Chain A
Amino acid sequence: MSDSTASSPIASSQAAPDLQQSLRRDWMSVLARAEAAELERLWQALDEPAGHRLLRRPETGLVQLRGRIGGDGAPFNVGEAPVTRCSLVVEGERVGHAYVLGRDLRHAELAALLDALLQDPARRPRLLEAVIEPLRTTQAARRRARRRAAETTRVDFFTLVRGEASK
């Protein structure tokens, strides 16, 4: 109880930017996880004028992945993964950024472009409906399918009564 009363004034005073930020984080995440081909198809179907200016051309680099693969120890550098990033500006004021796993330059560019366009309140509802929601549905289905496939390999261990007792 005391926790909720203490945090509520802070939450209400920053409600607008927080909401915006979590909203943007959400669509950026959906765009980054999308299949490049599906994103391209949805983008072509949109028929948006694609006038943008690249601030940072799509470029691929490596990021170090850290994890606790031992399950008990300190963070461990597991390996590296290629990440492609892109930044661009649309209509001179909206800056879109994208960081996408993999080496697909076009994917990063499209994700950055959609990030920039989604910041426009006038375009947002239409884009959320036409691009983000279909992508989210596909991703959820993909995740469900993977989980189902993994579930079939589950082994339930139980203890057998050993034979010696019967003698």
Chain B
Amino acid sequence: MPTLAIVTDHYHYAITIFLMMAGLYIVVARGNMVKKLVGLSIFQTSVYLLYVEPGKIIGGTAPIIDPSFTVYSNPLPHVLMLTAIVVGMATLALGLALVVRINEAYGTIEEDEIFERDRET
């Protein structure tokens, strides 16, 4: 069953791409700034999956050399994504801090209302 093989071999890519597109869609479609940041976070999270999944080899073990094991998982993607998680967290924190300041300055975090208030002044 080649079709089944395609599904079982590639379903994780489908999940990754679904998350990617869902996140990007939320960023574009929502006017609420906190929701935008949530979308941005989901978008970034999909990248963690993109990197980490292929690093795992079924039956593979932690990459510590031992005569009783021959198959190892790739540890590098995890390390890379640790860095990316830190970057993503910093982005989210800064974004939320900006939203707090915007809320103080404008009294709202809805994008269209903010544009309206800027037009009034």
Indicate, yes or no, whether A interacts with B.
no
Chain B residues engaging chain A, CB cutoff 8 angstroms: none
